[in-house]
Homo-oligomer: A and B are copies of this chain.
């Protein structure tokens, strides 16, 4: 069946005419490599600048609304960031029976704390994000991301190095969320992916404590770095699980690694999860996450699970980062 609809209006642009003046469009590239190009059509103007730590672009796209791009890859899109942020935060928050003290390293957009603060259990949320300039930009320009989280009295926001913070303070957390997004080739981020760092996290976790790490693009074709990070975490934590969710604006499934000393998040029953959602009065506050989607996220394809279970190299302080190729 065919439906005719009026086109976007054609502007007579005097700079580049042809018999029928075609309007110029602008395009934003995402995750583009020498093998695959992905471009999203932009609408209107954009902002772009480099902070001390990363190059950022903020633009509105036709398909996904406003998007925040860091170092040439989309971090977050207005229309589906809830999928990423609920997936990052909710399984860990639900795995813990009563999460009162939570730490986020990264999270500068404001959506990660937003998800944590939905839980009435939370008494204290510390957020450590090194890039002050980016955080201030997000506070100002991305209100639908933070939805007031930055103003919540339970939140303490620090602009310092996350590992240094964790090392020098001794309090324990119930949940630690590592929402670090910058590339590994330089700077402090490298130190946030090693066995030594995960040991430090383990020391700072309470008894039923849960750690979750965003674990990059994960699919049967892309799994090497996720697997290396996962093995590194597993060399410290006895219980480690991978899960993933499809994020339309990323055009891929994003992986996460959740770790505890005892509870297995993949074995939470539907009843337990729905009980906690009810107790915490979250049914209306969670858009994508519930017991069924929790189970769905952990149900990875067989061949991917086998690849993730392979033995191999782990990441350690002072040693070069090598991601094993299989």
Residues of A within 8 A of B (CB): 1-27, 29, 31-41, 44-50, 55, 57, 61-63, 71-73, 79-80, 83, 181, 183-185, 189-190, 193, 216-217, 219-226, 229, 244-246, 248, 251-253, 286-290, 292-305, 320-323, 325-326
Contact among B7, B55, B253, B320 for A45, CB-based, below 8 A: B55
CB distance from A270 to the nearest CB of B (A): 10
- What is the CA–CA distance of A289 and B57 in the complex, to the nearest angstrom? 39
How many monomers of this protein are in the complex? 4
Contact among B12, B17, B219 for A226, CB-based, below 8 A: B17
List 22 A-B residue pairs with CB atoms under 8 Å apart, sorted by A's residue number. A1-B322, A2-B11, A3-B10, A11-B185, A15-B71, A19-B325, A19-B326, A26-B32, A29-B39, A34-B34, A36-B38, A37-B39, A38-B39, A46-B57, A47-B48, A251-B252, A287-B303, A288-B302, A293-B301, A295-B299, A296-B299, A297-B299
B38, A37: Cβ atoms under 8 Å?
yes
In the complex with contacts A48-B48, A72-B25, A248-B225 CB distance below 8 A:
no
B217, A17: Cβ atoms under 8 Å?
yes
- What is the CA–CA distance of A295 and B266 in the complex, to the nearest angstrom? 12
A216, B2: Cβ atoms under 8 Å?
no
Chain B, Cβ-Cβ closest to A14: B184
Chain B, Cβ-Cβ closest to A190: B1
Contact among B35, B79, B252, B325 for A221, CB-based, below 8 A: B79
Contacts of A21 in B (CB 8 A): 3, 225, 323
B296, A80: Cβ atoms under 8 Å?
no
B35, A62: Cβ atoms under 8 Å?
yes
Contact among B11, B38, B47, B296 for A38, CB-based, below 8 A: B38
- What is the CA–CA distance of A197 and B193 in the complex, to the nearest angstrom? 55
Determine which residue in A4, A22, A287 has the highest number of CB atoms from chain B within 10 A of its CB, and name it: A22
Contacts of A246 in B (CB 8 A): 219, 244, 246, 252-253
Instruction: List 12 additional contacts besides A17-B323, A47-B48, A288-B303; criterion CB under 8 Å.
Output: A1-B184, A11-B183, A11-B184, A12-B184, A14-B183, A14-B229, A18-B224, A21-B323, A24-B32, A48-B48, A253-B253, A289-B301
